[in-house]
Structures are given as structure tokens and as C-alpha cells.
Amino acid sequence: MSESASHEAIQITLPSDDVVLPFQAEQADVLGRLVKLGPTVDTILSRHDYPEPVSRLLGEAVALTALLGASLKSDGKLILQASTDGAVDLLVADFVVPGAMRAYARFDEEKLAALDREDDAALLGHGHLAMTIDRGQDAERYQGVVPLEGSSLAEAADTYFKQSEQLPSFLRLAVARHFQVGANGEGAWTWRAGGLLVQKLTREGGIVSPKRFEEDWTRAKSLAETVEDHELLDPTLAPERLLFRLFHEEQVRVYRAIPLTTYCSCSRERVGEMLERFSGEDLADMVVDGKLWVSCEFCNARYDFDPADFGAE
């Protein structure tokens, strides 16, 4: 074998990233979605440079929103919002069909510094988690709201599944920083996130005994529970391979992957139109050192304006 052929034989092609992969485990009659996030979640979190506990929590919100938003079959948006009395008092993440995402967090620096632990319960405190589906102006909005009572996002989402969809569900979310070496040999820490959602469905048009239903779900859930955080975060582990590792005994079948990317709807024109709706007095209060500027909460872009253009000198 020639040297070039040898190199070709051992060449490794890394799997695609930033995707949601829907799947079905036919033997257990369950449906699910697996999400793997790399550059998309890193871009969202790096734009703000939040403290690490806040970034980790927002990364979980992005992964959860991707898992939920991927179920939308037509044009529309899914908005996840957590409002709490904790150190992180607001989390917002959007998913726009077919797979555009954005997110931001708001936190209290003093409360965050006073925390002894960096778990979700301590960060979130008490409040509520709202999931809104917006299909446009011609369609009615749907919103489900569940309490956040010192619980994690995953636990609150599980409550949502039980109350709103009334389906047995399993959910795991993972977020961590990953050291990645680039083509130039230099490395950098980047954020990664992943998640697995599995739900039990009844057979349409058929009859399944309660015992069979429970046995199938117990078996599928037990397999799902074996997934490790590092498997959800590993950039070299293809999502198809992970699903086969978990559910090959259940005849797992994957569907078309849904690519994910970042977006933001802000622009200088839109921000200017928003400022025109404020009174001169309100605009004058926004002027700092003779400057009028607005920063986008989602992408952190800054737009500077001349106060005189709005009569706010």
C-alpha cells in the first residue's frame, strides 16, 4: 500500500454538528430527538461572556429549545422563557423554523456571588417556565406554563410534558466547555451542549395492554438513562452512532437531521424605528455623555445614534 493510500485509509471525517436528529425506536414504540450543539451554542454564549454558571444554564435553555422547536412542522417560532426570583431572573431562547436560534440571560451579580453552589436550583430559585408557539399573525398563539420551584430546567420541562402533552418522557441536558485544537495547532475553550428527549406514544388504531405499554416504556427509559453527558458533548461521536449505541436492540430508525444556526432580527433601522416611539423626555434620559446608543439583548450588537436626530440633545 502506498503512503498516500495509507493516509486515505486512516483519514477521519468528523460528524456534522449543530443538528437535531429525530428518531424512532420501533420495538419500544417511542419517538425522540437528539441535539448536538457546537459553534451555534458557542456563538450565542460567547457574545455575552456571562459568568460560567449563567452560560451553562443558558446553554441548557438553548439545547432544550432546540429539542422542542424541532417538532414544529411549518413556519413558526418557539419561545422558551424562564422568569424567576433567583440569581438568574430571566432566560429567553428562540427557535425559528427551520432551525435558527438566539438566546440571552439576565442575572443579579450580587445574588450570583452569594451562591454557595452552582446548580440550576440555586441559580433559578422560584418562578415559572413558559413555552410559547407563535405561528404568525394569522394563527393563534399557544402557551404552556409550568412552575419553577427550585428545580432545574429539565425537571420543569418534564412537568410540562406531563401536564400539557400527557406523555411519559425522558429528558437529559448537558453543557460544558470543550478544549478544541484548530488546524494551526492552537487550541481554545469553546462551549458545547447536547440533549436527549424520548417520549412514549401509543399505537394509532391498535390496542396495547397497560402492562405491555408500561414494559415498553420502562425498557426504553432504562436505555435512555444510560446516556452519559460526555456522549452528548463529544464532537467526534456522530449522533447516529450514539443513537445506535443506546437503542440498537429496539430497532432504532433516524429521520432527516435538522441543521441549527444562529440568527438575530435586530438592525439599525429597526432600532431607530423603536426609538422614534419614545417621547423626547424619555429619550433625553437615555442620553449618556452626549451619546444615544442601544445594545441588542440577544446578539449584543451596539447601535449608536445622534441624539439630535430624535430631538433629544
Per-residue pLDDT of the chain (313 residues; tens, 9 = 90+): 333 433 343 344 445 799 999 999 999 999 999 999 999 999 999 999 899 999 999 999 999 999 999 999 888 999 999 999 999 999 999 999 999 999 999 999 999 988 866 566 778 889 999 999 998 777 788 899 999 876 789 999 988 888 877 789 999 999 999 987 777 778 889 999 999 999 997 655 445 567 788 899 999 999 999 999 999 999 999 999 999 999 999 999 999 999 999 999 999 999 888 888 888 778 888 888 778 888 899 998 999 888 877 665 5
Pairing of strands 261-262, 100-107: parallel
Is-contact 192 235, C-beta < 8 A? yes
* Angstrom distance (rounded) from CA 200 to CA 196: 14
pLDDT value of position 15: 55
Per the confidence metrics, is the pTM higher than 0.95?
no
* Angstrom distance (rounded) from CA 167 to CA 161: 6
What single DSSP character describes residue 15? P
Name the grid cell of 160. Answer: 410540562
Residues 6 or more apart whose CB falls under 8 angstroms from that of 313 comprise: 287, 307
* Angstrom distance (rounded) from CA 222 to CA 280: 62
Going from the C-alpha of 306 to that of each of 108, 144, 160, 176, 295, the distances in angstroms are: 31, 42, 46, 41, 15
* Identity of residue 114: A
Burial-class residue 15 by CB neighbours within 10 Å (0-12, 13-18, 19+): middle
Stated length of the chain:
313
Is-contact 22 255, C-beta < 8 A? yes
Helices 39-46 and 52-69 cross at an angle (nearest 10°) of 130
* Angstrom distance (rounded) from CA 188 to CA 180: 6
* Identity of residue 10: I
Burial-class residue 131 by CB neighbours within 10 Å (0-12, 13-18, 19+): buried
Is-contact 2 166, C-beta < 8 A? no
Name the grid cell of 231. Answer: 456522549
Radius of gyration from C-alpha coordinates of the chain: 22
Torsion (CA) 45, 50, 56, 60 in degrees, nearest 10: -50
CA-based max dimension of the chain: 79
Which domains can be identified in the chain, with CATH numbers?
A: 16-262 (3.55.30.10), 268-310 (3.90.1280.10)
